[in-house]
Amino acid sequence: MSVKEFIRQALDLNRKDLLENVLDLSDQDLTWRVVPHANSIGFLLWHLARVEDGWIQRPVQRQPHLWVSEGWCEKFGMSEDQRDMGYNYSLQQIESFKTPSLDLLMGYAESARDATLTFLESCDPETDTREV
């Protein structure tokens, strides 16, 4: 199995597992937090998509995040700050996170994943000399 096949298979398995676990969640489920200082399920879905978008677009492809280039920040009603991917949030930031609909969360996650897979298909590990 090639490195590309391995990565593709891992990403596909990740997507399958994610979909099986979130597609039936209600809006109330998405906002649930196990304890007051924990992130909600909706926050974690947003964070996963932001990180994938951020890691693949900027450092690897040298492109702006889809968060900005496709207008996801506006759809979410959040800042264009490409550094904001949900790391080290304060309790106030956690509490003020407005959980969007599952459709919006999954739309962004799918966009980030599609961009990742498009990049993966276009790269050749044997000849790519790009440093990340």
**pLDDT per residue over 85-127, tens digit each?**
888 999 999 999 999 999 999 999 999 999 999 998 888 777 7
What is the pLDDT at residue 81?
85
Q: What is the mean pLDDT of the chain?
A: 91
What is the pLDDT at residue 112?
96
Q: What is the 3-state secondary structure (H, E, C) of the chain?
A: CCHHHHHHHHHHHHHHHHHHHHCCCCHHHHHCCCCCCCCCHHHHHHHHHHHHHHHHHHHHCCCCCHHHHCCHHHHHCCCCCCCCCCCCCCHHHHHHCCCCCHHHHHHHHHHHHHHHHHHHHHCCCCCCCCCC
What is the pLDDT at residue 2?
81
**pLDDT per residue over 49-94, tens digit each?**
999 999 998 888 889 999 999 999 999 999 988 888 888 999 999 9
63 and 28 Cβ atoms separated by less than 8 Å: no
Three-point CA angle 62, 64, 70, nearest 5°: 140
58 or 25, which is more confident: 25
What's the mean pLDDT in 9-34? 93
What is the pLDDT at residue 39?
95
What is the pLDDT at residue 62?
87
What is the pLDDT at residue 98?
93
Each residue of 76-112: b (16+ CB within 10 Å) or e? bebeeebebbbeebeeeebeebebbebebbbbbbebb
